[in-house]
Structure 1
Amino acid sequence: MTKRFNRLRFSISVLFSLIFALLFALGWNCLPAFASAPAAEVGEGTIGSAPSYTHSEPGLTKLVLQLRWDHQFQFAGYYAAQWMGYYEEEGLNVDIRSAFTAQSPDILDAALEVEEGRADFGVGAANLMMAQDDSMDLILVASIFQRSAVEYVTLLEDRGNTVFDLSQLHIARRPGDLLDLELQALLASEGIAPYATRTTDITRDFTLEDLINKTFDVVPDFLGQIPYAAEKAGVPVKVIRPAEHGIDFYGDTLFTSGKLARSNPELVERFRRASIKGWFYALEHPLEISELIVTQLAAPDAAPERQAALLDFNLYQAGKVLELTHYPIVEVGNINPFRWIKMAEAMKSLGMIEEVPDLDAMIFDYDQVKMTQLENTRKNLAYAFLILTALITFFFVVYLKRRNTLLLKEIDDRQLAERQLVLSNARYETIFRSSVLGITVTDSEGNIRHVNDAWCSMTGYTADELSGMNINQLIAADSRDLDAGLHRDLMEGRISSYSMEKKYLRKPDPQNPDQEDHFHGRMVLTRIWDSGADAMLNMSMVTDITKEVRDAQAVRRAEERFRKIIGQVAQEIGGSALTLMGSPVAGELSMNLEEINLELERLFTRELEENRRKDALIRYQGRMAAMGEMIGSIAHQWRQPLHTLRLVLMNLRDPGNDPDYVESCYLKANALIRRMSETIDDFRYFSNPRTEPRAFTVAESVRLVQGLVDEQLRVSGITLSTENLESLQPMVGFDNQFSHVLFNLISNAIDALKHNPPGKPRTIRVAGEQREMLLTVRIEDSGPGIPSTDADSVFEMYYTTKEAQGGTGLGLPMARSIIETAFGGRLTLVPAEAGCAFEIEVPVSGKVGE
């Protein structure tokens, strides 16, 4: 890229020489020129009141860098650039100023200092979005901290595991505090009012003593100051980071004024380049820079004990800074416009800013600025020389188009390589490979990205053969458009998943010519987010139902034969029956009728067996539908642990990790894996068929189901409460079938509560009652309820009100069948004050009504 830019600059120089020669010949003395910076001021570089590490020479451009806090390792890169002479190499004399002054007790606002011209550069974070919204003209130059240094600390190890749990604690909050921005975004992301917790008017910094004295349950912290104090005091604390819950804000970012960036981009680029070099040096030499910070800035005249304590703190902070910069994985100073846009959108949703700023104009891009200046010069010259400018314009357009094409191709190739790298990772391999369902992952165009062994077995293709194929190549022509409307609704976000039966094609097998070329499958299609590919992908789970389809066809053939025999009987005993009475033919007809009667008995027996098989198929369909919903629940349960594991592994890759930190990361990862394993154990327990009844309690079944849907409840903001379940007498039966009934009823309640408008409570109550030898379990929700027109039909087979969401109409009929046949009880829809309520009545022994 640099070579292409040099060639462009050389070509421009040649063209300018021709233009100046022609201007001189014509006697023109004026040309439009680039805007230049004011005359440079001369002085010696300083950091606050401390002497510089290297001597500045006269003739350097004087600049002021305004920090957002006092001198510490948080700003080590700028000190290193000064002390190592990198600013001087770029012709700069930089005055690095602390945010604390002797003239005022207030902390200086770096954005305001730059906007009003008292500083040329500053260090900020999310507050830059608020300043820009207040009509300040600021430009982002380099994001040093790739993740915000804001975190929240508590002594309660068993609390704050979820955002809702965190909101129930007493959090130290101040109105207008910059440390509170990410907490507000975190609460709002889970549907909790940003100011749902109370605030305090304390103006001092929050400390470890606030936790020890129980003044607060949770206090905000910046760059590990409170964890450092806790470590020294031997007090174990728990650190809650918004990034681990999806609030991914940038941290310290170097910025300047829009006026300076537009008038003198070369100066801004020189400062940025020298600062980045300083940060590289500081991150590679933390001990040297920490010692200089203590001896020259923080406490040059302090006692040795005080200096030793400050050195230890700065070295601790150096480790935090290294983690936040993601060095060396991420290039120091890298700016991702998409992440800044997401930050601004989150702040707008909280009412912190009114509009999302134009990030393309707000982010400093030196190459783009130079190209803009060159384009403006070309336009000015075009007014002076029409013919010559036409040729120059053509040259510029062709050259720039070619250069942009090469650059875009380079970006596309890099993005494609990154997507392929991410997709090649062995994500979800254990559950993906071992599943009995045929699973495919495709892009929005239907191109297959990933398949499991079960799908290869169903289709007869290998994984390599399927890679790159389109999913429509494996679907029979008469089945491809069956779900066109549902597929469109899924892609446009109106539904989250749907189910459909389709006919799929098998690979021809020359060794087995009798093999059928197709199979029937029941498909559940949903969409998942692939963070590696930065795109939404389609995930299809297919169950082979070929045997079910064949059984259904056999039933239809039996019905046809039955109707044919009935027709023959009617024909033989028709209008001529009277003439046959008393004749020799009557005996023959009697024999025929006897044979027909025997055939009817055989058909009745066969039809009875077929109906039993159909009943079993319907039960199997209901169970597979429930298992499909549970697989979705497992995906919800695994998403957050997988994201946290990814962050833990990323942190382990950072150089310089001490053994204690590695051990803590190991323990954290082990706990996450244990949680994921428990989810799989619950699923296996639920899906394991029982051959013998056993004693169990309603409370046990409710806890099992609650563990399977816990993540859905959390994401949807639903509260599930239980009443009087522990006091119910144990009953004997098939416990997993009873859990199946509870899972269907609670899942239906969750689906209904998702339609509640904002502000309306979302609750599910499971209450138990025992009257002598009869157990009653009531499942009631606060949703929209069941319309009176549908109340009489909810238990009919295949009747559903959720066709758009892929409802099968099997859940409630199967639930009633299980309660009646397996437990001798009743499942009924009962009146409710608000929402919908179902009651299960089960006798401890005997059947209801006996």
Structure 2
Amino acid sequence: MRHWPDLVLIAALLATLLAAFIPRPVLAKELSPPLTLQLKWHHQFQFAGYYAALEKGFYAEEGLDVRIVPGGPTIDPADQVTSGRADYGVLASELLVKRAAGAPLVCVAPIFQHSIRVLFVHEDSTIRSPQDLAFRRIAINQTESAEILAMMLNEGLPPGDMDFRNKSEDSLALFMRRELDGFVGSIGNEAWPLIQSGHLTRLIRPIDYGIDFYGDCLFTTEREVKEYPKRVEAFRRASIRGWEYAFDHPEEMSELIITKYNPQKTREALLFEAGRLREITQPKLVEIGHSNEGRWKNIANTYRRLGLVAGDFTIDGFFLSYYLEPPLPSRIKGLIVGTGALLLLALIVAGALALFNTRLKRGVERRTAELAAANTQLAREVRMHEEARSELTSLRNMLESVINAMPSILIGVDENGKITHWNQKASEQTGLTQEAAERMNLQEALPALADSDVLIRRALESGDPIRIHKLQLNMTGTTGWYDLTVYPLPHQIGANAVIRIDDVGDLMRMEQTLVQAEKMMSLNSLAAGIAHEINNPLGAIVQGTQNISRRFSPDFPANVTAAQEAGVSLDGIHTYMEKRKIDRLLDGIRESGLRAATIIQNMLDFSRKSDAGMAIVNVHEVLDHAVSLASTDYDLKKKYDFRNISIERRYADNMPPLRIARTEIEQVVLNLLRNSAQAMSSHGSNGETPRIVIETELASRYGRITITDNGPGMDDKTRSRIFEPFFTTKPPGEGTGLGLSVSYSIITRNHAGRFEVESTPGKGTTFILSLPIPTEDGPSAS
């Protein structure tokens, strides 16, 4: 215990040293007589923070005697402060313009983080954006509303297109009498009388168009900052405290303003203004008084574009921080902290030495007790080890069961490609047992993965999984689509990598179906719009050609009379028209118009969805009627004749009646029969007699119609596009490319069914129509 006096001495020295570096409260210098704060407008909640700082004693606590003076339309706070009639003032971002004009003003603290100025327009007017303001009557103070002007300039509104009127105290009344189309005002000041009068307005805010100015800012002069920096800091602290209090107690401050400052506003108007200003200031998100130099530079650049400041103007010296003493250098701070840490460490070491003897004795006694319990603990650990090994075995068995239950093929391999793990799914897909596979290399067990060693090496080098999507592999004698993933593993696990193989064939087919459905949905509205736009002029063309032909007909006396009056005969006109082939030209125009009309009708059918004509129908009768229509159909131009095609019908006896639109389903089936006939006539039927097989069957909740031909088939590229409008493989003039598009819309949209196609080049094509079986409430659509 003889060390304790030394410890006390060291502690006293340490306390003395640290006390030398503890910052003391900064006291303001001897202050001048009462300070004057010049507001920019009449008393209202817009200045509540300064009232709170004064009435709650925050200024007094800082040693400040402050007098608050209201403003008005003829009072410029910048002039008041610059001339010395006031010491501090309140202005918005135009404070920069004042400084650029030569006024030595300094921003002490931005109070409102965003401008409170907005453009009010009538809600029932056509003005919805700045572009709509051209030649509109707008009341504005152009010097104080630069953000409004910048917004209009940004939106491409030329200055010559603006009908600006000077804003006055009568602007609000003129606006309400609709003698103005809009006016610039405060979101918290002018909005309240408009709401009270029931006059509905729309607000256009510059911040919504990329113009974000600061709102009210507290400012003073360079002279005040240079001569009384502590006083300026004290004024700033007290004012910010006042604003924090005002936003936390809006009801109390509204009563105070009414009682002491006669604001010429009601309590409700002040509370409304408080809510709007709190939204703009966001005191809980952004610290009151926070200033961003980069944002001020953007504001200065905007003023340059508007010609309000000179091109060489800079914001140097505009901020309070420019004049304050820099903080203590970090190197000196580090030295102080390091010295204190070393002294504290010395004190700890001394204390440790003083306590060493006592702790050593206690440690020996404690160690003896620990050794006495060691044997018991060792026995317990042995038992726990056995239990852990048993648990590990159970966990390994469970993990193996989980791996075997996975629907994916999981294969573990070492650095040489030798298989170390082989799950049940891999055995099912390849026929190899786990024991047989684990004696083989991966290339021997799965020749389809002969190049997998490159992927494994890349995965191990990068340390990240490697995924290959939609890989075509021959896994079980047939080629399919798979996703392949290689996962690198730490060496101590027993495998260098795990390969996961997932069959994605069904998923790819589902994706193709979804993509096709999305294409058809997006093209429906396009088809309808184009059809309606073309129909009107097309009708005029067809009708015009018919009227021209009638004008030359001798069957109408008016034509004969008009020809005689012109000194010609109709027979001579007909002879001339035959020799010049004008009749053929008119017939060509009319035929082309009628063909275009057919295309337009198909487009309208494609875009229209209607339940009209839906009824419970025997689908076999519909198929028979479609075959009957097709059996008499031939087209020498398109080189097909159903009389040379064998049509087989294989109907299911258990097929129930379906709720369908009979004519629409007949149209779909007839389209498919014609497409098959044309394909087999132009490309052959693989050396066989042309044949079309129509089958029906009951498939779960659907009645399925299958139409198969032995024609040339299609490749994957053609098959993926056959339902697209205007896509055709026929020569020009022989097809519109809308038949299958319309058919797809009829089945999927009008009947809530499915339309699928299967085809292999050289092996024919199969179309599958699945129509919902009706229930008591209607078709069982999905």
TM-score, normalised on structure 2?
0.43
Name which one, 1 or 2, has greater alpha-carbon Rg. Answer: 2
